[in-house]
Structure 1
Amino acid sequence: MRFDWTQGRGVARRRVAGGAGAAVLGVAAVFGSGLMTAAHAADLAAPTGIVLGVGASESQRVVSWYSSTGTPQMVEVAPTSQLVNGEFPANAVAFSASVGANSVNGGYNGHATIDSLQENTEYSYRVGAEDGWSPTYSFKTQNFKGDFDFLFFGDPQIGSSGNVAKDGEGWQDTLNVALAANPNAELLVSGGDQVETANTETQWNAFLAPDKLRQYPWVATIGNHDVGGKAYEQHFWTPNTDRSAPYYNGSTTTRSGGDYWYIYKDVLFIDINSNAYANGSDEAHIGYITDVVKAHGADAKYTVLVYHHAIYSPAAHANDNDNKKRRQDFPTAFSKLGVDLVLQGHDHAYSRSYAIKNGQKSHPDEQPGSEQVAQGPGGVIYVTANSASGSKYYDLTAPVQGSDFGPDPLNPDSHWANSVENQEHVRTYVKIQVRDNKLVVENIRSSTCDGPNAAVELGKVKWCGPNNGTSPAQPVGSTVDKVVIHPYRGKGWDQRADVARSTPAEPAWLQQTTEGGAGTLTLTALS
């Protein structure tokens, strides 16, 4: 049942699906004055580490936090227009929290789901209980249908430079720059590695310091530096999460996070924990993605996968053994399932692939750096994000001749799968525009060579700027790479190619949007 924000205090129950089984996140309730005693409330210090997260749909948000006590807590919410002099109205809605013991710092962590939000509304919220409230924060919903933009951030990895404060400054500056330029962005999507060391709370505190993470929903992804402890999943509660044993390869070091999904407007987002890959884990992840696409793919226009380990990595991790295995395991499955876009981190450098079908380049004539791409049936675009904080950069690596990830015949300095590879040792973020008939992906500079840019300032890298530092740094807000992706929708959707055909001097492969009149992809389990 949906809560009517215009009514007085009452009780509403809600449930969110949890992957293999439904997970109840507690009761969305409105509290009377008798629920919590004054003694309990007096023991409750203001919560810390508050972060706004994505819910299962546009009408939900999840709030997570740390607390010094396990006593009952809540998130109190009201339309901002109803606050008077900063005070919440009498009919503010309170959503009860699930609070558990924290294995990291001996305290507690809590989360609550804000439900039944209305579109185009600014809400204010606070966390805690009487005599123990956090400051008040706000967020704004937008239209629940139609076009939207979201931002993708690679590896802040706070602490990896050796200077947590400098890393945190760079991270905060990227968020400020990105959201000043894109104030109506609706999601902040993570490429993983929020911190350098999984259970080091000073790093988490610096990562969570920006208030933008309480104003826009952070869509968490677990990286290899986030595993080895429980801090990641204690800081972030995610919707529809499946933590089944096969996803973890029997390893205790990867048992944090999980695979999860949600639908936001016309996009089915699926996020997997790519840290486990051997002994059947990749197959388990593919099974999860297959089940989600079968169940929910028809409810969305696009499918976007997010995970940490970039399989078409342009830099230091390009030929890691685990990535070689993922390159064998993932691409054919993703093509068969009709995935449109894959967002990855891990390599602290930027790359954008050609359209890749079944692990091969879809259109042999697609040119490096093309600004318009027609995916064709089974074509998938893979994007690797650069560092969003400046804490660590990896230089591009030379392709290994004769390997599974050798040179591009059209551009031998790059790997065969990648249309664009870039490293300038400046912070960047990726903007994705979701439109009715296209996706637009743009990599944007959020810094120059000047600070805050910890890896440059501390001498971790020896040059800065385009062309290995031989060209001057470009201004903040300038574009590194931009592409318009025309998705394949099967027979009857060729009008998307007609739009591309109107572009002057377009390559021949751009017209090839069908294969012998093939219809839509059939979503079946993979053998």
Structure 2
Amino acid sequence: MMNRIQAWPRILLAASLLGAALLPGLQEPPAVHAAASPAVLIAKADRWSYSDEGKDYGAAMKSASYDYSGWKSGQAPLGYKTDSSGNATNNVAPSSEFGKVSTVIAYGPGTSQKNTASYFSKSIAIADPSAYESFQGLFGVDDGLVLYANGQEVYRASMPSGTVSYSTLATTSKDLPVVMQADLTAALRAALKPGVNIIAAEVHNQSPSSSDLYWDMQLLAVPTGSGTPGGGAEAPASLAMTFSGDPASSRAFAWYTPSAVTGTRLEIVEGTYTDATWPSAAATSIAGTSQSIQAYASSSDKSAGKKTSYVSHKATATGLKPGTTYSYRAGDGTSGRWSAVGTFRTAESSPSSYSFLFTTDPQGTTESEFVTWNHTLTEGMAKFPDARFVAVTGDLVDNGDLESQWGWVLGKPAELLRRLPLAPAVGNHESKSYSNFGWHFNLPDTGTGAQPAGSVYSFDYGPAHFMVLNTEFDEASGSDPIYQKQVAWLRADAAASSKKWKIVLLHKSPYSVANHSSSSDILFFRNNLTKVFDELGIDAVLGGHDHTYTRTYPMKANSPQTNPTLDANGDMVRPNGTLYVTSNAAGDKRYTPKSGPFPYAYKYGQPGKEMFTGVTVSTDRLTFQVYTTTEAGSTALYDRFGIVK
């Protein structure tokens, strides 16, 4: 096992911080094989020197010659939460990654005149930076962070562009500390030197009246030649696992790399392994395909007409054993270009009961908004730890042609998504005009011609058959051959399935209660597509788009069946119609319900919080448990219902 850094000389680390919010992280499944860990250069809950004087240190504290001996010291996490009397307390919401504040620091002259920055320093040393192929940072921060190594900026989050001074405010504010992960490999390779180094960080409050501040971090170094991930900018990014075939015997994967990395390899092995214990000799190597693409990296690049070259990679593992745990990694077969190891379990041949998460509309434009998405998924998995996949019914991003947003929606919950497949539907913000959805997901082509690629497909899981539609095509303004092909495909696909439950996933819900409820495309679906669902005996239609919550009565011929038979649990027994559920957003964007009336709605509203639903599928019952959650508050049951047949 690698020796921990405490046995080495010292490298100086300094951090300055101003208030943001911390999101509980997800842990990988416990390894069953003994593992050597990467070197821990900075551990969680280490002791730090700090200054809470509200002094602008400028460039001085970034220098290797700066004298920190007069600073205070304390164990991380460090920070404060002001109470109603203006006292600094340790009541900052804890993080599962770093925990509760251990050292309370001063916040400044008054509750509305808090220090813009607090500074922290940590001394360690590194004998030979070239001995490591990867440097990985994990930060617990409240609000904005700028990190330096020997005076060179190596990472920035929730801070404006340009020069940062003591008085610069963070761009976002959260009520909880935020966990941020960063691959610092390329930046630290350029900045570190053998022996003593200085790493300095500024983390800024969003407002002088910010109520809390939080700081802790971890820095790991992966030894060169270990075959573990983190090979800087050339390692896979935006890795997504999906279904393209039988979930009992296959898994599909997609990821991005820079344009220079064109090789596509998936290694997979039965059992649970980690990065450090990867059994290269025992793993099966699967060749995949790659496509060179060009896309806008950011909104500023789009405004300037500047595209970045990427490579979209796809690989599929087939011939897997049902009900079996597998570990995998993606890359091009070159050391240093592998993803982190992920672990998943195939579906059983005939699972009698299982659950999945239903979410919609993570849709954001900033990195912090996708921290909210990560929190929603984290809370969902805490309530349904055995969920087999996540259904996301569209508007994963706000701008479907901007890769920064795709990086956040897939990157913020990266740990979770390495072990949990996505079942995505395309939304209007992904758009039929953009190809990015098809580049990011490895999904089957069902021949409907719907764009983007992979937006119409189906899969079986246990006793349920899932059909995913693309609601970017309709006939509200005239004949549309793509819509007609989707309907024909839907009829044929449903007829070919013998599964007891038939569930449709789509973005634009036919029945909702906010502004979209009277849009021409929604009215078309309500008056026409629902007839097809009636014809096919669809049990449930799960959607989004209107950023409110609506659960209908069973609907038949566009009429609510208001007196369904209920069992002792309050579940509907063999309802004569289809149940439509429109979820509130999993992200920060919400709409207000219109005045109505909405005769089809059994329950509707805007709870003002993010939402996820745990759906449990068994041979005779579908059970829906709808939860609301916020980063600053609790997670609570909002609705519960079911279908029995």
Shared fold, TM over 0.5: yes
**Is contact 2:272–2:343 with CA below 8 Å preserved after alignment?**
no
The Cα RMSD (Å) is 2.3
Relative to 1, partners in 2 of residues 1:83 and 1:308: Cα closer, same or farther, differing over 3 Å? closer
**What does residue 317 of structure 2 align with?**
114
**What does residue 190 of structure 1 align with?**
392
Aligned pairs for 1:12-411 within 5 A = 45-58=234-247, 59-68=249-258, 69=260, 71-81=262-272, 85-104=276-295, 105-128=308-331, 129-131=333-335, 132-145=337-350, 146-159=352-365, 164-209=366-411, 210=413, 211-227=415-431, 228-239=433-444, 241-245=445-449, 247=450, 255-278=452-475, 279-280=479-480, 281-295=482-496, 297-298=497-498, 300-363=499-562, 371-377=570-576, 379-390=577-588, 392-399=589-596, 407=597
Relative to 1, partners in 2 of residues 1:257 and 1:173: Cα closer, same or farther, differing over 3 Å? same
**Is contact 1:70–1:101 with CA below 8 Å preserved after alignment?**
no
1:343 CA drift (Å): 0.6
1:363 CA drift (Å): 4.2
Letter in 2 for 1:288: W
Distance in 2, matches of 1:202 and 1:71, equals 21
Report the secondary structure of 2:266's partner residue.
strand
- Higher fraction of strand: 2
- Greater shift in the superposed pair: 352-361 or 188-197: 352-361
**Is contact 1:70–1:99 with CA below 8 Å preserved after alignment?**
no
| Residue deviations 1:420-448 (CA, integer Å, cap 9, x gap) | 10211101101111011111112112226
| Residue deviations 1:81-109 (CA, integer Å, cap 9, x gap) | 46794222412111211111123232210
Aligned pairs for 1:411-430 within 5 A = 415-430=598-613
1:147 CA drift (Å): 0.9
| Residue deviations 1:196-249 (CA, integer Å, cap 9, x gap) | 00111111111011121121001111000001311111001113x22534x4xx
Distance in 2, matches of 1:81 and 1:305, equals 33
**What does residue 504 of structure 1 align with?**
none
Relative to 1, partners in 2 of residues 1:371 and 1:319: Cα closer, same or farther, differing over 3 Å? farther
Letter in 2 for 1:420: K
1:136 CA drift (Å): 1.5
Letter in 1 for 2:553: Y
**Is contact 2:556–2:578 with CA below 8 Å preserved after alignment?**
yes
**Is contact 1:220–1:238 with CA below 8 Å preserved after alignment?**
no
Larger Rg: 2
Q: What TM-score, normalized by structure 1, do the two folds share?
A: 0.70
1:318 CA drift (Å): 0.7
Distance in 2, matches of 1:55 and 1:422, equals 35
**Is contact 2:274–2:341 with CA below 8 Å preserved after alignment?**
no
User: Any unmatched runs of 5+ in structure 1?
Assistant: 1-41, 248-253, 400-406, 408-414, 452-474, 488-527
**Is contact 1:157–1:195 with CA below 8 Å preserved after alignment?**
yes
1:124 CA drift (Å): 1.5
**What does residue 442 of structure 1 align with?**
625
| Residue deviations 1:432-490 (CA, integer Å, cap 9, x gap) | 11011111112112226x37xxxxxxxxxxxxxxxxxxxxxxx31x2111102124xxx
**Is contact 2:342–2:418 with CA below 8 Å preserved after alignment?**
yes
**What does residue 24 of structure 1 align with?**
none
Distance in 2, matches of 1:52 and 1:243, equals 22
Report sequence identity in percent.
24
Relative to 1, partners in 2 of residues 1:75 and 1:165: Cα closer, same or farther, differing over 3 Å? same
Distance in 2, matches of 1:84 and 1:305, equals 37
Letter in 2 for 1:135: A
